[in-house]
A and B are shown apart, each in its own frame.
Chain A
Amino acid sequence: GIQVEQSPPDLILQEGANSTLRCNFSDSVNNLQWFHQNPWGQLINLFYIPSGTKQNGRLSATTVATERYSLLYISSSQTTDSGVYFCAVGEPLGQGAQKLVFGQGTRLTINP
């Protein structure tokens, strides 16, 4: 199956700093999502980005499918950005469904 690796595993920053989170995957994909898991455990959709670049406020993401990696950028970090960020890629299940294979996550801590 597809392997997904995220780096770094942990990141501690001061409020206002910028950060880059990386996701490498082992096979070609047509589905890649970034999530933020909040303190209550809910997975919040950040980006659906199988290729290209997208931006949403202080967050942006780039996926280079041919080189099998994706990057999540967070600018001007706020304490509310703290939490675990997951990258997940789609693996076909048949019948047209896909399962998301998750990386181990990056735990981001933003200190005031």
Chain B
Amino acid sequence: DAMVIQNPRYQVTQFGKPVTLSCSQTLNHNVMYWYQQKSSQAPKLLFHYYDKDFNNEADTPDNFQSRRPNTSFCFLDIRSPGLGDTAMYLCATSRGGSTEAFFGQGTRLTVV
């Protein structure tokens, strides 16, 4: 089945130790998104790629970066995680425009 896969499902990292989360898709969608969801809150967009064009949300911390080496893969890099970065990170894809978005299973990140 075509889908969006995130790895790992759970990640524990130490304060200040860089961490990378990955997302892959078999839907061949143009747009890939990263959302952050903190406990008991709604998901919030960090950034997105339209093909190879990267677009950052204005309030996304500089600590967060992303790479999209090809259509299928997208990575979220957190350079120096703080305790406040503990959250669920959700990857999503869409064809673009006002089309339906599909989410991966999420990566639950805990910073200790």
Contacts and interface: CB of A to CB of B under 8 A. Distances in A.
A102 B42 contact: yes
Contacts of A43: 43, 90, 103, 106
| Chain B facing A: main interface SS | strand
A44 to B, nearest CB: 8
| Chain A facing B: main interface SS | strand
A10 to B, nearest CB: 11
Contacts of A96: 50, 96-97
Given A41-B108, A43-B103, A100 B45 contact: yes
A66 B111 CA distance: 44
A99 B45 contact: yes
Contacts of B88: 41
Interface of B: 31, 33, 35, 37, 41-45, 48, 50, 53, 55, 57, 88, 90, 92, 94, 96-106, 108
Interface of A: 30-31, 33, 35, 40-43, 45, 48, 50, 86, 90, 93-100, 102-105
